[in-house]
Structure 1
Amino acid sequence: MARPVIGVTCYVEPAKFTVWDMPAALLPYMYVEHIARAAGQPVILPPAGEPRDLAGRLDGLIVAGGGDVDPARYGAAPAPETGYVRKFRDEAEFGLMTAALESALPFLGICRGLQVLNVALGGTLHQHLPDVVGHPGHSPAPGTFGRLPVRLAPSLAKIYQGDDLTPAHYHHQAVDRLAGRLEVTARADDGTIEAVEVTGHPFALAVQWHPEADEDGPLFRALVHAARRTNG
């Protein structure tokens, strides 16, 4: 049986590799490893091309982590802490997200991916979470994952085979006003929304944490299973 093709959005940033120093389309390799271990075929998606055509060629989609969404998309001025905004990436991912939802393409959002999903459906974001919850635990230091417990709703607990989880966090933004089509499926102890699902969609969920940073990958397996079921 052919492996389902799972597209993963990526960064476009200045990068140094071998003898080169130039803009590059790049993605932490942990994403690729998890998809491959889950028996999917990973394909990295740079922010280019026609979203509807691209969505039609995929069996599943992951919108990966990255910089902040442009606050203008949810009617806000940028806070001092908002950074790494890449409007060209916003443009590509919002279009791809919309196409995926309209075509019932299995979808997993990770960190930024949850924020893109919420804003695309009409929600807003807290631009700097420590100002809201009073601690930096969701993003303790540059390049350092935090570990905070989250409580899972039954649908997500079924995937993880338990309703408590202490995953890797690295986000300084989070959902403020929840979009109407979304259902909360996990929260941190401080009340932060940590996972959502799209109501009425066969498989469309997003988590604020970084599942690619852990050895086990139940969310990736669930996505690949949904891609195989939907397109098989």
Structure 2
Amino acid sequence: MSEAARMPVIGITTYHRPASWGTWSDVECDLLPSAYAQSVTGAGGVPLLVPPLATAEAADSTVAALDGLIIAGGEDMNPAAYGAEPDPHVTGWVDARDAGELLLLDAAERVGLPVLGICRGMQVMAVHSGGSLIQHLPDAIGHARHAATDGTYSDTDVHVDAACRLASLLPGDFTVASHHHQAVAEHPGFLAAARDDDGVLQAMEAPGERFAVAVQWHPEQHDDAGLFAGLVAAARRYRIR
């Protein structure tokens, strides 16, 4: 099969937590909601789940096998990663996942691998660039509507900057699926690409040719196929190059 014909392989990072099924209870697992993989498949890519990695060598080897990377949603980061003490609302993090995703972003940056960050993934990308987070968004904007309730998503109206790459992939104003109590505060090296009615940063992107885009919402839950199509197209160009 020619390089042009081969489907791009898109790595997707996973949760690392106990899970139960059948007769098994609280087994340590690397897992991910299937909507992520389905969205990649729908865009013409091949999804490959990537569990937390422990070394730079493992991250480099993983990235060498990929054409694109998604840093997926999940739990809060350890605030120590951006030099902060934890807010009382930040009580659960997985250091192995934080470290593994930062190593993957290091490796991806070294070779220019296309990257899409989703929810937590956007926050990880901001911290990787030297940025920081708003640890508990309700304290900053006065409400908790972005977080919805356990097991559900809220609707958030987003406004995309027409001058950004994101505008070629998504409508200028539309409604997204949200579930987050944190947000990006500082994002050095990234351009603000979208905000919501509260002024919260909802998307950011790197300047230049490389596809490095992140959104605070969950595109795998709504029909935001343009983001996955954009990533897969960038992954195909990266592979051929």
Q: Do the two structures share a fold, i.e. TM-score over 0.5?
A: yes
Partner of 2:84: 76
Normalised TM-score (structure 1) = 0.96
Q: What does residue 35 of structure 1 align with?
A: 40
Partner of 1:46: 51
Q: 1:167 is paired with a residue of what secondary structure?
A: strand
Superposed, 1:48-63 pairs within 5 Å as 48=53, 50-63=58-71
Asked whether the equivalents of residues 104 and 202 of structure 1 are also in contact (C-alpha less than 8 Å), the reply is yes
Counterpart secondary structure, 2:19: strand
Please point out which of 173, 198, 205 is paired with 2:182: 173
The Cα shift of 1:117 comes to 0.5
**Equivalent in the alignment of 2:30:** 25
Q: Deviations over 1:6-65 (max 9, x none)?
A: 000000111111221211110000001111111101000000251111111100000000
CA distance in 1, matches of 2:42, 2:193: 25
Paired residue type of 1:184? A
2: CA distance, partners of 1:39 / 1:177: 33
Q: Which residue of 1 aligns with 2:231?
A: 223
Structure 2 counterpart of 1:166, which letter? T
The match for 2:147 among 131, 139, 142 is 139
Q: Contact (CA 8 Å) 1:101, 1:201: kept in 2 or not? A: no
Equivalents in 1 of 2:200, 2:63: separation in Å? Answer: 31
Say whether the 8 Å CA contact 1:104–1:201 is kept in structure 2: no
Q: Equivalents in 2 of 1:153, 1:184: separation in Å?
A: 8
The aligned counterpart of 1:158 is 168
- Aligned residue in 1 for 2:10: 6
Query: Are 1:98 and 2:106 an aligned pair?
Result: yes
The Cα of 1:216 is off from its aligned counterpart by 4.4
Q: Is the contact made by 1:10 and 1:44 (CA closer than 8 Å) also made in structure 2?
A: yes
**Deviations for 1:101-142, whole angstroms, at most 9, x for unmatched residues?**
221101000001100010111111000001101111110211
Q: Which consecutive residues of structure 1, in runs of 5 or more, have no partner in the other structure?
A: none
* Count of aligned pairs between the two proteins: 230
Residue in 2 that maps onto 1:119 = 127
Matching residue's letter, 1:57: A
Q: What is the DSSP-based 3-state SS (H/G/I as helix, E as strand, rest coil) of the residue aligned with 2:74? A: coil
Instruction: Give unmatched runs, 5+ long, in structure 2.
Output: none
Q: Distance in 2 between matches of 1:169 and 1:66?
A: 12
Tell me the percent identity: 44
Q: Who is 1:193 aligned against? A: 201
Give, in whole Å, the separation in 2 of the partners of 1:200 and 1:94. Answer: 21
CA distance in 2, matches of 1:215, 1:158: 15
Please, what is the CA RMSD of the aligned residues?
1.1
